[in-house]
Amino acid sequence: MAVVVALPPPVPLEPDAFVRIRRLSRPLEWLFTVLFAFGAALLAIAVVAVLTYVGTRLQVRPGGMQIYIEATVPPVPSGWTTVGALPWIQKIALALSASVMMIPALAVLWGLRRLFRLYGSGVVLTQENARCMGGIALWLMAYAVAPTLGHVLVTLAGFDDEGWLRIDSAKALALGLILFVVARVMAWGAEVHDDASRFV
C-alpha cells in the first residue's frame, strides 16, 4: 500500500523583497551613472575653459561666474572680468578650486552607483554595503569642507572669493554624519546576518 506524503511548496531562491530591491535598484544605478558622467564632463569642460578660453563669453567676479550664449555678448559689467584676462596663477587656482569642489560630489554619485549596483546584483545586508555607505558619508563630509578649501586656494592666488560660505555645506556635513552612523549600524546588522546564516 502506497503512502502519499504532501510536500511543502518549494522555497523560492530569493525572497520577494530581494526581487523588488533588485528590480528597483537597476534604474537608480543607471541614473547615478548618467549623473556622474554628466558631472565629470561638466568639470572637464569648466577646467579646460578656465585654462584656455580667451574670449568674452566666460566672465568671473568674486563669488560668481557667468557664461553668455547669446549671439552678441554685451559689454563686461562693472565688477566682472573675462577669464582670459586673469593671470595664469589665478586661472590655475580657479581650475583647482572647481576640481576640489566637484570631485567629492562626483565621488558621492559614484558611491551611490556602486551601492545600487550591489543591490541590483542581490548583494544586500553585507559588509560591502556598509563600506560603500561609509564611503559615501565620508565624501559628503569632504564636499562640506570643499568650498572652504577652494576659497583658500583662490585667495592665496590673489582672487577675492566671496561665495565660499554655503548653506548646502552644512546640510552635506549633517547628512554625511548621519549616513556614517547608518553605515555603522549596517555593518553591525551584516555581522548579525552572517552569524545567523551559519546556523541551519
pLDDT tens for 82-101 read 888 889 999 999 899 989 99
* 17-39 pLDDT, tens digit each: 778 888 889 999 999 999 999 99
Record the pTM. Answer: 0.82
Q: Give, rounded to a whole angstrom, the gap between the first and last alpha carbons of the chain.
A: 35
Lowest mean pLDDT among 10-19, 62-71, 129-138, 177-186: 10-19
Task: Using the predicted structure, report yes or no on whether residue 1 has a pLDDT greater than 70.
Answer: no
Average pLDDT, the chain: 85
pLDDT tens readout for residues 50-83: 999 888 888 887 767 788 888 788 888 887 888 8
**Could you tell me the pLDDT band of residue 15, with boundaries at 50, 70 and 90?**
low
